[in-house]
Amino acid sequence: MSPSEGTHPPENPADEALPAVAPQLRALRRRASLTLETAARAAGLSPAHLSRLETGQRQPSLPMLLTLARVYGTTVSELLGETVAERDAVLRAPDAEPTRAGGWTYWQAGASGRGMQALRVHVPYGSQGDIVRVHPGEEWLYVLTGRLRLRLGDTAHLLAPGDSAHFDSLTPHRITAADQDGADLLFVHTLLQSPAAALCLGPITPGETP
């Protein structure tokens, strides 16, 4: 790295208007209980690069802000120090738009940007059957309809309606529907500890209806 790296110009000229972003980045990372190394790895950055962002030696681009907002479970507005609108405590069924993720369909069952994210999920038969996930955090699920196959480490479980599971997400796990009609479940995960791309849901494609 060159000696002048610490005095690099902003990556985007528009970012010169973001003086508050450096301290906010550090505060939100600490609020999420993430080390510099863990947050940097989740965002696809080096710890040195993230450290320079947090000390104001570098300014983040908009794509980088979007990535860090997902990692910290917040919004770009909050990263920029803007006032965040108060979240509604109640989510009405007609307002829950379906989203597709890795073949599954899910609906928000709680406010976004919280440390705990609640979803209602439909798992179709044969979807993500060979995907094993390992990531920081915790997960809880409750089967509403259909039967679900849950593999935790070397142990396989068959869950029926009314069954639930609560486990550490660092345990290698795989979730699949056992029946042709699929399965429906309530699903809760600790979003602030788990970047979205690492979760069981897989890559997210907002706005795509089933």
Average pLDDT over residues 87-94: 79
Over residues 3-10, mean pLDDT: 39
Place of tokens 């509604």: 88
Contact of 29 with 23, CB cutoff 8 Å: no
* Phi and psi at residue 208, to the nearest 5°: -85, 120
Look at residue 84 and tell me whether its pLDDT is greater than 80. Answer: no
Residue 127 · residue 177 · CB < 8 Å: yes
**Alpha-carbon gap, residue 4 to 165, rounded angstroms:** 52
Give CA–CA dist 206/209, Å, rounded.
9
Q: pLDDT tens, 108-132? A: 887 766 667 788 999 999 887 778 8
**Count of beta carbons in the 10 Å neighbourhood of residue 177:** 23
What confidence tens digit (pLDDT) does each residue in 155-168 have? Answer: 999 999 999 999 98
How confident is the model at residue 110, as a pLDDT?
79
pLDDT of residue 46: 92
User: Sign of torsion, CA 195 202 130 150?
Assistant: positive
Radius of gyration of the chain (CA): 19
What is the four-CA torsion angle of 199, 172, 31, 140, rounded to 10 degrees? 70
Spatial contact of 12 and 61, defined as CB atoms under 8 Å apart = yes
* Cβ(84)–Cβ(35) below 8 Å: no
Highest average pLDDT, of 18-32, 83-97, 128-142, 150-164, comes from: 150-164
Band (pLDDT 50/70/90 cuts) for residue 1 is: very low
Query: What's the gap between Cα 158 and its chain centre?
Result: 26
Six token digits for residue 47? 């710890």
Q: Cα(first)–Cα(last) distance of the chain, in Å?
A: 48
More confident residue, 172 or 13: 172
pLDDT one-digit tens code per residue, 49-65: 999 989 888 888 777 88
